[in-house]
Amino acid sequence: MRTKKDVNAIIEALKGLYPDAICSLEYEKDYELLFSVRLSAQCTDARVNMVTPALFQRYPTLADFAAADVDEVGQYIHSCGFWRAKARDIVGSAQMLLSDFGGKVPDNMEDLLRLPGVGRKTANLVLGDIYGKEGYVCDTHCIRITGRLGITDGSKDPLKVEQQLRKAIPPGESNNFCHRMVLFGREWCTARSPRCQECPIKALCREGKGK
Residue in 170, 165, 112 with CA at minimum distance from that of residue 142: 165
121 is catalytic: yes
Cα–Cα distance for residue pair 175/8, rounded to 1 Å? 15
Task: Give the integer Cα–Cα distance in Å for 7 and 146.
Answer: 10
Mapping DSSP to helix (H, G, I), strand (E, B) and coil, where does residue 143 land?
Answer: helix
- Asked whether the beta carbons of 25 and 191 are under 8 A apart, the reply is no
Catalytic residue among 30, 121, 167, 211: 121
User: Does 139 participate in catalysis according to the annotation?
Assistant: yes
Instruction: Give the separation between CA 193 and CA 195, rounded to whole angstroms.
Output: 6
Going from the C-alpha of 194 to that of each of 84, 143, 158, 207, the distances in angstroms are 34, 14, 21, 11
Catalytic residue among 139, 160, 202, 209: 139
Q: Could you give the CA distance from residue 81 to residue 101 in angstroms, rounded to a whole number?
A: 29
The angle, 0 to 180 degrees and rounded to 10, between the axes of the packed helices 45-58 and 70-77 is 140
Helix 30-39 vs helix 120-131: crossing angle, to nearest 10: 150
Q: Which residues are catalytic?
A: 121, 139
